[in-house]
């Protein structure tokens, strides 16, 4: 059969038509597929929203006002704030940062009062009821004197937390005292940071260590001195102790101990004499 | 045409074979055409279907899927107060095992096992339901662990479909405001009933309906009222926190409350709302309203003017005070000591008509303006007699809901503009204009007087340091079968804070408080309602942006010298 020109053209048109039709079908197929995908996704979103709503509801139920009140009564005991907890203006805030006047009352000092490192002598030092001094302080023990500082340092290093979780899990009561301090006296926000806490710890230990054997016992003594309100003496003692501590013997331990002993940082500037943030 | 060929070919025996062959061919051809036709038909239908799916816009779009069956209710900060919750329910389907007995065990055994899971269920009723063989709900809203325990019974007829239920995450908190819904899914009480149309309408239920309630304030108010109620052994308590500038109700509590998640017979009486449904003679809390009206009318111009304070004889009726305050009192002293005698004299000079006009303007002659169903006041009709004017002036002979009082106090302290109370959250442009009842100067004077009542008068127990609370105590004897009962009181403390720029009115009310050790044996408002306000305000103030400040207060230096040192003079 001869293929005339018109035949070929009409076949060509038919072929194009067929291809177009096939493409249209394919396209509508595709559109439909995407549409159903969208619908499925929407259904999925709705499902997840319902799930979120359910979890939200559970949370709201567990944390409803009555539960929170009951929890507060049993666990926390938070009270409504009092006027003393609010500052009226920037002026009032600034007034807290005034430099210390000549007739200002003596500053309240807070010593780091860590629990003694757990050693073989876990019992607290016995205190002589007559002199008010620790028993160990009255009876010098030469061999302990030599051993103790090194041991204490080892303990300090051991107490340095390995990771953040361990650090956060630790209770540092002296931190709280530091905050209380801020309310009472403006001169307490100190330059923290590079301060050498490990050395300071040693410095605190040294002056008392002349007579007492262990730093653990020396610290309570320091605290006692403050209770008795003899700041000048303590200051002098500590100032004297400072240069002794300077030699970088314990350098490798500094980094670790720096994390461990944030409280000592607070104590240090008072001892050295009023290096405060507001000046 | 082919059938003709077949018929002629059959006649000759010679073409028999050809005929057979032809016939077979024909059948085969027919079958092919049939198959082709069927395939074409299927193809065309399929193409049409594809084209239809491809081009037609699907009506079932996904937005309808996420729409809750009933709209959420949230508080003013968006905390959900009522929402849909897919809970399990226990459905009995006797056809689960096909024909034959519905249950594996006997109905009695299954009922006994169910009672072990739900100790409050009625065993006889369950047994009857199981024995009846009709599909029905055995229980609505069961816990997932209970569903697991039912599953372990091994009864296929006990099904637990998940159904969307109305759930109130805050439990009984704000129950009187929220109300509840019936088994048909429509609101029965409270805002559920008021907003029913909006919550059910598919067009509007997608967005949560915001109430004016602040759940933190509501929680604090209910907590303190409950404590006060227990300390004073009261039968019930009510409280309102109202925004003085907009009329929005931030908290509305009526105790004892009920849990809208679980309505049992014991909680049904508690559904009654003391704050809006019941009217009370509120007593002395009305005195500031009388005094403000007298100041406004020019009857009280001199705060130092003294009125005799002896018992007042009016046509066979004697007006007394709680105790003797001396020979005379001025107006500030009369408010501080809550003297009925002096207030009655002031009202007498003011005249019944003016007092009635003001009180009517405050809405005391109609139901309170609040969305909830509310009680109708006992309002003395006609022209007020002299004695009526006098008793109304100190809060007797006129019974109101605490809601009326809250709106009136808002007008008293906010500069004199009364606005209707509402439980809907209002946008700034929606706040009603209100109507002026008192001049701003009168309101300023009243703020001083109310503050003095709290700082030196009967409301001292409410004086939370730094919050500049002002308010008035009211202790009214409840009317009984034989006149007023001396021991059954309604005690109210109506307060506003901070008095130098009032923002919120706080009302605390105790129903029949008793004298206990905690209240030093007293049963008046100063010992039970006032301390509640004194404890609520420090809890809610900072949440509402009012910080305690001991350096500010309303200036009362012009009134302070007028106060005698003792219990009056």
In a domain, B52, yes or no: no
B502-517 per-position pLDDT tens digit = 999 999 999 999 888 8
Same domain, B231 and B105: no
Is residue B10 over pLDDT 80?
A: no
Contact status, residue B476 vs residue B281, Cβ threshold 8 Å: yes
The residue-averaged pLDDT of A181-197 equals: 42
Contacts of B222 in chain A (CB under 8 A): 65
Q: Which domain holds residue B409?
A: 219-261+270-562
Interface of B with A (CB under 8 A): 47, 50-51, 53-55, 58, 60-63, 65-66, 79-80, 83-86, 167, 169-173, 215-216, 218-220, 222-223, 465-466, 535, 538-539, 541-542, 547-551
Phi, psi of B418 (to 5 degrees): -95, 135
**Residue ranges of A 7-26 with Cβ closer than 8 A to chain B:** 25
Same domain, B364 and B470: yes
Contact A66/B538, CB-based, under 8 Å?
A: no
β strands within B221-377, DSSP E? 236-243, 249-255, 280-281, 306-308, 312-314, 317-319, 328-330
Q: What is the pLDDT of residue B364?
A: 93
Q: Which residue in B341, B393, B412, B337 sits closest to B563, CA to CA?
A: B337
The residue-averaged pLDDT of A143-168 equals: 55
Same domain, B283 and B402: yes
Alpha carbon distances (Å) from A128 to A114, A124, A134, A225: 22, 12, 6, 16
Residue of A nearest to B174 (CA): A65
* Helix, strand, coil % over all residues of chain A, rounded to 5: 65, 0, 35
More confident residue, B481 or A226: B481
Q: What residues have CB less than 8 Å from B489, skipping those under 6 apart? A: B475, B476, B477, B478, B510, B512, B513, B523, B524
- Report the CATH number at residue B278: 3.40.710.10
Q: Which band of pLDDT confidence, cut at 50, 70 and 90, is reported for residue B156?
A: confident
Burial tier of A233 (Cβ tally within 10 Å: 0-12, 13-18, 19+): exposed
Q: Is the peptide bond before B440 cis (omega within 30 degrees of 0)?
A: no
Same domain, B14 and B162: no
Contact status, residue B358 vs residue B408, Cβ threshold 8 Å: no
In a domain, B308, yes or no: yes
Same domain, B339 and B440: yes
Q: Retrieve residue A191's tokens.
A: 């330059």
**Residue ranges of A 69-98 with Cβ closer than 8 A to chain B:** 69, 80-84, 86, 88
Contact A42/B548, CB-based, under 8 Å?
A: no
Same domain, B20 and B103: no
Distance CA B345, CA B403 (A): 27
Is residue B421 over pLDDT 60?
A: yes
A88-130 per-position pLDDT tens digit = 788 888 888 877 788 888 878 777 766 666 555 556 667 777 7
Contacts of B58 in chain A (CB under 8 A): 35, 39
Instruction: Report the residue of A56, A65, A88 to disrupt the B interface, i.e. the one with the largest count of B CBs within 10 Å.
Output: A65
State how many domains chain B has.
3
Is residue A25 over pLDDT 50?
A: yes
- Mean of the per-residue pLDDT values of chain B: 87
More confident residue, A250 or B409: B409
In a domain, B51, yes or no: no
B241-282 per-position pLDDT tens digit = 999 999 999 999 998 999 988 888 888 888 888 889 889 998
Q: Retrieve residue B85's tokens.
A: 């919750």
Is residue B239 over pLDDT 70?
A: yes
The residue-averaged pLDDT of B215-227 equals: 94
Q: What is the pLDDT of residue B414?
A: 93
- B215, B254, B284, B443: which one is catalytic? B284
Distance CA B265, CA A82 (A): 43
Helix, strand or coil, per DSSP, at residue B159: strand
Contacts of B251 in chain A (CB under 8 A): none
Find how far residue A1's CA is from the centre of its chain: 95
Same domain, B148 and B280: no
Distance CA B88, CA B142 (A): 5
Instruction: Report the residue of B43, B44, B45, B50 to disrupt the A interface, i.e. the one with the largest count of A CBs within 10 Å.
Output: B50
Residue A149's CB is within 10 A of a number of other CB atoms, namely 17
Distance CA A100, CA A270 (A): 13
Q: What is the pLDDT of residue A152?
A: 53
Q: What is the pLDDT of residue B102?
A: 81
In a domain, B109, yes or no: yes
Contact B548/A86, CB-based, under 8 Å?
A: yes
Q: What is the pLDDT of residue B532?
A: 94
- Report the CATH number at residue B117: 3.90.1310.10
Instruction: Report the residue of A64, A77, A88 to disrupt the B interface, i.e. the one with the largest count of B CBs within 10 Å.
Output: A64
> Does an H or E element contain B337, and which?
helix B331-337
Q: What is the pLDDT of residue B81?
A: 92
Angle between helices A231-245 and A197-209 (to 10 degrees): 120
Neighbouring C-alpha atoms within 13 Å toward the C-beta of B128: 5
ipTM: 0.76
Contact A66/B549, CB-based, under 8 Å?
A: no
Q: Report the share of chain B in percent with pLDDT over 70.
A: 94
How much is the pTM?
A: 0.69
Q: Which band of pLDDT confidence, cut at 50, 70 and 90, is reported for residue B447?
A: very high
Q: DSSP letter string over A156-191?
A: HHHHS-SSHHHHHHS--HHHHHHHHHHHH-STT-B-
Q: Nearest-5° angle of CA B71, CA B72, CA B74?
A: 145
Same domain, B159 and B229: no
Instruction: Report the residue of A80, A84, A92 to disrupt the B interface, i.e. the one with the largest count of B CBs within 10 Å.
Output: A80
The residue-averaged pLDDT of B180-190 equals: 86
Contacts of B47 in chain A (CB under 8 A): 25
In a domain, B458, yes or no: yes
Catalytic-residue membership of B89: no
Same domain, B310 and B420: yes
Q: Report the share of chain B in percent with pLDDT over 90.
A: 46
Same domain, B296 and B234: yes
Q: What is the pLDDT of residue A198?
A: 42
Q: Which band of pLDDT confidence, cut at 50, 70 and 90, is reported for residue A142?
A: low
In a domain, B485, yes or no: yes
> Nearest CA to CA, how far is A77 from chain B (Å)?
13
Measure the CA dihedral B519/B525/B529/B535, to 10°. -70
In a domain, B192, yes or no: no
Contacts of A81 in chain B (CB under 8 A): 538, 542, 548
A205-220 per-position pLDDT tens digit = 444 444 434 444 444 4
Q: DSSP letter string over A43-83?
A: HHHHHHHHHHHHHHHHHHHHT-HHHHHHHIIIII------G
In a domain, B315, yes or no: yes
Same domain, B224 and B94: no
- Mean of the per-residue pLDDT values of chain A: 63
Same domain, B80 and B28: no
Q: What residues have CB less than 8 Å from B469, skipping those under 6 apart? A: B451, B454, B459, B462, B463, B495, B496, B497, B498, B499, B533, B534, B537
Q: What residues have CB less than 8 Å from A127, skipping those under 6 apart? A: A133, A134, A135
Q: Which band of pLDDT confidence, cut at 50, 70 and 90, is reported for residue A183?
A: very low
> Nearest CA to CA, how far is B47 from chain A (Å)?
8
B54-90 per-position pLDDT tens digit = 666 555 544 556 678 888 999 999 999 998 888 888 8
Contacts of A84 in chain B (CB under 8 A): 550
């Amino acid at each position: 059969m001869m293929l005339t020109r018109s035949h070929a053209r009409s076949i060509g048109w038919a072929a194009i038509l067929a291809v177009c039709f096939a493409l249209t079908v394919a396209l509508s197929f595709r559109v439909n597929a995407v549409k159903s995908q969208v619908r499925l996704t929407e259904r999925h979103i709705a499902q997840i929203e319902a799930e979120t709503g359910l979890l939200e509801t559970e949370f709201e139920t567990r944390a409803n006002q009555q539960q929170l009140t009951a929890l507060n009564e049993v666990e926390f005991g938070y009270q409504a704030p009092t006027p003393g907890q609010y500052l009226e203006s920037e002026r009032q805030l600034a007034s807290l940062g005034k430099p210390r006047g000549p007739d200002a009352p003596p500053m309240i000092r807070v010593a780091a009062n860590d629990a003694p490192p757990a050693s073989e002598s876990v019992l607290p030092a016995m205190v002589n009821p007559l002199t008010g001094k620790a028993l160990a302080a009255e009876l010098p023990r030469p061999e302990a004197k030599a051993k103790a500082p090194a041991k204490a340092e080892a303990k300090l290093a051991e107490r340095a937390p390995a990771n953040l979780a361990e650090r956060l899990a630790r209770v540092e009561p002296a931190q709280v005292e530091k905050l209380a301090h801020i309310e009472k006296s403006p001169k307490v926000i100190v330059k923290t940071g590079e301060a050498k806490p490990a050395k300071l710890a040693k410095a605190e230990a040294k002056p008392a260590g002349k007579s007492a054997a262990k730093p653990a016992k020396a610290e309570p003594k320091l605290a006692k001195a403050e209770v008795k309100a003899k700041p000048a003496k303590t200051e002098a003692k500590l100032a004297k102790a400072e240069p002794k501590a300077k030699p970088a013997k314990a350098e490798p331990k500094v980094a670790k101990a720096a994390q461990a002993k944030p409280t000592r940082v607070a104590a240090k500037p008072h001892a050295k004499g009023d290096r405060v943030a507001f000046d | 045409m082919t059938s003709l060929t077949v018929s002629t070919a059959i006649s000759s025996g010679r073409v028999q074979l050809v005929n057979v062959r032809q016939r077979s061919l024909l059948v085969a051809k027919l079958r092919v055409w049939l198959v082709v036709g069927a395939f074409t038909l299927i193809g065309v239908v399929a193409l049409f279907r594809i084209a239809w799916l491809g081009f037609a816009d699907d009506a079932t779009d996904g937005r309808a899927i996420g729409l809750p069956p009933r709209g959420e209710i949230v508080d003013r900060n968006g905390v959900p107060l009522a929402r849909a919750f897919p809970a399990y329910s226990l459905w009995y389907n006797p056809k689960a095992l096909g024909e034959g007995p519905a249950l594996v065990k006997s109905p009695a055994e299954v009922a006994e096992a169910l009672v072990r899971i739900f100790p409050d269920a009625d065993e006889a009723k369950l047994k009857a339901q199981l024995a009846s063989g009709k599909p029905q709900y055995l229980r609505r809203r069961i816990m997932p662990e209970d569903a697991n325990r039912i599953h372990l019974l091994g009864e296929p007829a006990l099904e637990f479909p998940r159904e969307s239920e109305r759930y109130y995450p805050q439990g009984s908190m704000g129950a009187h405001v929220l109300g509840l819904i019936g088994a048909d899914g429509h609101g029965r009480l409270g805002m559920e009933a008021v907003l029913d149309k909006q919550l059910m309408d598919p067009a509007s239920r997608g967005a949560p309906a915001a109430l004016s309630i602040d759940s933190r304030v509501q929680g604090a108010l209910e907590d303190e009222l409950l404590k006060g109620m227990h300390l004073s052994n009261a039968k019930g308590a009510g409280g309102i926190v109202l925004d003085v500038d907009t009329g929005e109700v931030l908290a509305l509590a009526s105790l004892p409350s009920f849990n809208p998640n679980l309505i049992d017979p014991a909680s049904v009486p508690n559904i009654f709302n003391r704050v809006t449904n019941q009217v009370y003679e509120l007593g002395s809390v009305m005195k500031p309203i009388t005094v403000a009206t007298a100041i406004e009318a020019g009857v009280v111009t001199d705060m130092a003017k003294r009125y005799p304070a002896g018992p007042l004889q009016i046509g066979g009726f004697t007006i007394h005070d709680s105790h003797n305050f001396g020979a005379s009192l001025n107006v500030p002293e009369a408010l501080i000591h809550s003297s009925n005698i002096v207030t009655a004299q002031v009202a007498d000079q003011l005249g019944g008509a003016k007092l009635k006009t003001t009180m009517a303007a405050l809405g005391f002659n109609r139901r309170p303006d609040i969305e909830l169903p509310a009680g109708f006041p006992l309002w003395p009709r006609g022209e007020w007699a002299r004695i009526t004017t006098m008793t109304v002036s100190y809060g007797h002979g006129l019974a109101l809901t605490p809601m009326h009082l809250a709106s009136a106090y808002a007008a008293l302290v906010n500069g004199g503009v009364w606005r209707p109370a509402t439980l809907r959250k209002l946008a700034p442009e929606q706040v009603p204009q209100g109507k002026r009842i008192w001049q701003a100067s009168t309101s300023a004077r009243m703020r001083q007087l109310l503050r003095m009542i709290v700082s030196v008068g009967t409301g001292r127990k409410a004086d939370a340091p730094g919050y500049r609370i002002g308010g008035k105590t009211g202790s009214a004897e409840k009317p009984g079968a034989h006149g007023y009962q001396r021991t059954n009181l309604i005690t109210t403390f109506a307060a506003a804070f901070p008095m130098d720029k009032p923002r919120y009115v706080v009302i605390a009310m105790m129903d029949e408080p008793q004298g206990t050790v905690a209240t030093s044996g007293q049963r008046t408002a100063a010992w039970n309602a006032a301390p509640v306000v004194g404890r609520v305000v420090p809890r809610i103030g900072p949440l509402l942006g009012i910080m305690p400040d001991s350096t500010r207060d309303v200036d009362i230096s012009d009134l302070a010298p007028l106060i005698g040192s003792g219990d009056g003079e």
